[in-house]
Each structure stands twice: as C-alpha cells, then as structure tokens.
Amino acid sequence: MTAGLPGLLQIGAFAPEIQAQIDAEFARVHLDDFARDPSAAASIRAIITRSNLAVPAALIERLPALEIIATNGVGHDLIPLDVAARRGIVVTNTPNVLNAAVAELCVGTLLSLLRRLPQADRFVREGRWRSDNFALSTSLAGKQVGIVGMGRIGKDIARRLETFGVLLAYHGRTDQQLAWRYEPELLRLARDVDVLIVVAPGGPDTEHLIDAAVLRELGPQGCLVNVARGSLVDQQALLAALEQGGIAGAALDVFDGEPEIDERFFALDNVMLTPHIGSATRETRAAMAQLTLDNLRSWFRSGRGLTVVE
Ligand code: 8YV
C-alpha cells in the first residue's frame, strides 16, 4: 500500500483506465488479498464496490477507520445502510448517469418480448422463412402499461413509452402528481394493465412485491418486465405462472441468485432473458465508474460525497 494515500478496500473489478486512477490516487488493497492478509484493516478509510456485490456488515465492523462506501451502481440493497449510519459512514451511489441505458433496455426487451424478436431471428437463421410465415405477434401501441416504482428510471421509461402510444399508470409509495395516473392499489394496477414494469429499489421493503396474487391479477394476457432486482418478484410464483399460462410472458434482466439462475427459465418460449445488462453500455459504465471515483475524491477533498444515499 502506497504511504500517504487514503487506504481503500476494493470489491470487484473495474476497467483498466479506472483501475489506473484508483491505484494512482489511493492506497488500494483488493478484498481477495485482504481476506488473506487483513493487516491493513486499521488504515482502510474507504470501500469502492459494485452494486451487484455485497458489502457484509461483518466486513464493515472490521474496518475501524472506515468513512465512506462508494458503490458503482444506483442500487444499494447489498449494503447494510443501518450499520453504516450507526458508524457515521457515508454511502454514495451513481444515480442518473444510468437512467437512459436502463430505460432503453426496458423498452428494448419489452418490444422483443411482444414482437418475439429472438424467435423471429432464429426463424430466419434456420431457413424456415423459405417455407413458412412467422406467426403474428402483438403490438405495443395501444397497450395499458403499469410502472411499479416511478423514480428517476421509472420516469425515463414512461417518457420513452409515451412515444409508442401506450396508456400509462404507475404505483409507488406516493402520488407524485404526475401526468400519468397514480394507482395506490398494486393489485388493481395489475388488473388494469397489459404490461407491468418493475423498476423499484431492491431490499426488505420490496421483497416479493410481485407475488402470486399480483400475477393472477395481471392475467393470461398480461406481461411482466423486471429491470430492478430479482428480489422484487416471487420467482417460484412467476415460473409457475409462465409455465401454466397464468401470464402471457416476461422480459427479465434480473433474477434470484444471479448469475446462477433457475434453469426452468431456459425451457420457456414466452420469456426474454438478459444477464443484468440494464446499465451495461460502454458509455454508461464509464460514467458510473467516473462518478464513483469522483465521490471518493470529493469526500477526501471536502468531506462531502457528490451523490450520497440518504
Ligand atoms: C450494476 C445495477 O450496478 O446500478 C445498479 O443498481 O444493478 C447495475 O448497474 C452493475 O451491474 C454492477 O456493476
């Protein structure tokens, strides 16, 4: 560890150009090395991590000098905020810089699901067009779409979907007095719509928010889209609904136990599966990593984070 630079514990990997900045500006030790040799524990003042990786409470307790946890991602459901707050440790994330990318993936996978684009691509590649017509699919235009979680990303999704001629409504903790209809009852929203989009934060408060009852209300013509966290959906109820025609289909970017997801999904033709790539564009990941670093720089320069999780 380089003397004089702030001690930093790194969890996960970062792109070479970001890693170079980390190594130039911080006395960095990677979690794997720290697990073998925790001698640096007393000098660790910051953690840099990624939103899909856990920061165990036990690890925080072993770092007496820890001041800040900077996560590369908007989600912070794998960081024990209560433990951090008790210790006066600041937690920062990367809001806003990924809104467009996640919204694009949401719209893209929804269109792929409704128009059966992966199946159409396979139909052509397998030479079946020579002798057959691809079955008609269904339009997005005119559909009733419900958004669960009208935060920054939810609003970006709504603005994009408006241009497709859908009717929008949303559910969340509060009526934000927006142009779109607010539905306080999640079951009623599920009953009213053709497509239900899940884009609320993960964590204990939203665990299995989308359960068997909600899927029943969504019904045999309804489709589910999840670009938030697997934990928001009761995955066993979802698999049963998909297998038994309880709902028409689902576009899923997040799952329980990623990346070891339930192989029952693989056999289903009415699902669009993506490997948690909501924010996975070069531009977005570069902006996320830069904001993560800038949060650390601002903290050690001014004692303030730029995008602090409240
Ligand atoms: C991950 C995400 O952070 O921002 C989030 O909450 O889930 C993603 O952007 C990213 O996959 C981890 O690097």
Q: What is the mean pLDDT of the chain?
A: 97
Q: Is the confidence at residue 7, as pLDDT, over 90?
A: yes
What's the average model confidence in pLDDT over 235-258?
98
Give pTM, 2 decimals. 0.96
Instruction: Enumerate residues 6+ apart whose C-beta is below 8 A from 205.
Output: none
pLDDT band at 1, cuts 50/70/90?
A: low
Specify whether 276 is catalytic: yes
Give the model's pLDDT for residue 176: 98
Question: Given ligand 1 and candidates 51, 94, 198, which is best to mutate, with the most ligand atoms within 8 Å of its CB?
Answer: 51
Look at residue 4 in the predicted model and tell me its pLDDT: 82
* Ligand 1 atom having least distance to the Cα of 72: 3
Using the 8-state DSSP alphabet, how is residue 42 labeled? Answer: G
Residue range 57-66: mean pLDDT, rounded: 98
| Full 3-state SS string of 245-308 | CCCCEEEECCCCCCCCCCHHHHHCCCEEECCCCCCCCHHHHHHHHHHHHHHHHHHHHHCCCCCE
Euclidean distance between CA atoms 4 and 27, whole angstroms: 8
Q: Per-residue pLDDT averaged across 95-100, rounded?
A: 98
76 in active site: no
Whether 84 has a pLDDT exceeding 70, the answer reads: yes
| Strand 223-226 versus strand 195-198 pairing type | parallel
Which residue in 50, 171, 229, 285 is the catalytic one? 229
The average pLDDT across 245-266 equals 98
In this predicted model, what pLDDT tens digit does every residue of 119-139 receive, in sequence order?
A: 999 999 999 999 999 999 999
116-124 own/partner pairs: CB under 8 Å, 24+ apart: 118/272, 119/269
Residue 98 CB–ligand 1 contact under 6 Å: yes
Q: Is the CB of 71 under 6 A from ligand 1?
A: no
**DSSP secondary structure string, 197-257?**
EE----SGGGTT-B-HHHHHHH-TT-EEEE-S-GGGB-HHHHHHHHHTTSSSEEEES--TT
Catalytic pick among 258, 264, 282, 304: 258
Instruction: Please state, for a pLDDT cut of 90, what percent of the chain lies above it.
Output: 99
